[in-house]
Amino acid sequence: MKWLYKLERRFGRYAIQNLMMYITLTMGVVFLLQYLTGYNLYGVLDLNRAAILQGQVWRLITFIFIPQNGSGILFTLIYLYFNYAIGMALEDAWGSFKFNVYYLCGMLSAILTMALLGFGSSYYLNLTLFLAYSYLYPNQEFLLFFILPIKAKYIALVDWLVLLVSFIAGPWAARLGIALALLNFFLFFGGDFTRQLRNQLGWWKTRRNFRKGNKDDIHYY
């Protein structure tokens, strides 16, 4: 991640601290306005290529303020708190600048999806936040249905399986959205995966050579 360190030295002072707090608070305001007024506010803020080409360029930013969980108050509150907690934990682990860049790259993936398909959303962007969190904190526990403790790595495993099935069996629109969103994740963690795979292969090779050496040392009389 040398490129990221270079960017941080040059532009780190411009990073937005507590970014996820501002995003989730705005999500809450947007949800309440739509819920209380009945006006389709989401339709004014979403990522729509035709509307953007007509001059509604604010959609390139405002789409991140649309909750992606449905319309219920309870589930929206849970969704907002979950995203807030995940985002703040990532910022604590990485620092504000790196988290800003990660989120911005996710936004660009959604915008590129929109440019190619005509529409996009922050669904996969927010999902990659959790994938990053589960990678950094695999043993952190969540209460499933407020009762059953389950570790983040197991929830992430389910998410990865769902993404894999959706990519294989889903329409091309879903495949493109998933591929572009995961580019963001692998941009940040691909090097770690490569090093872990290299270390694992080295361990297997050493173990194989050790066994082979022991076998060659056996003498039969």
Q: What is the mean pLDDT of the chain?
A: 84
- Region 149-164: mean pLDDT is 87
Q: Are 98 and 154 in contact (CB under 8 A)?
A: no
| Helix or strand (DSSP H, E) at 181 | helix 172-216
Choose between 73 and 26: higher pLDDT.
26
What per-residue confidence (pLDDT) applies to 214? 58
| Residue keyed to tokens 């729509």 | 48
Taken in order of first residue, the domains within the chain and their CATH numbers are: 19-202 (1.20.1540.10)
pLDDT band of 217, cuts 50, 70, 90? low
Positive or negative: CA dihedral 34, 36, 37, 38: positive
- Computed on alpha carbons and rounded to an integer, the radius of gyration of the chain in Å comes to 22
For residues 199 and 185, give the distance between their C-alpha atoms in angstroms, rounded to a whole number: 21
For residues 115 and 126, give the distance between their C-alpha atoms in angstroms, rounded to a whole number: 19
Query: How many other CB atoms sit within 10 Å of the CB of residue 45?
Result: 19
- Region 78-106: mean pLDDT is 92
pTM, two decimals, is: 0.81
Q: Are 87 and 75 in contact (CB under 8 A)?
A: no
Burial class (CB in 10 A: 0-12, 13-18, 19+), 103: buried
For residues 47 and 118, give the distance between their C-alpha atoms in angstroms, rounded to a whole number: 8
pLDDT band of 3, cuts 50, 70, 90? confident
- Region 83-109: mean pLDDT is 92
What per-residue confidence (pLDDT) applies to 63? 94
For residues 82 and 126, give the distance between their C-alpha atoms in angstroms, rounded to a whole number: 10
For residues 54 and 149, give the distance between their C-alpha atoms in angstroms, rounded to a whole number: 48
What per-residue confidence (pLDDT) applies to 52? 95
| Helix or strand (DSSP H, E) at 156 | helix 152-169
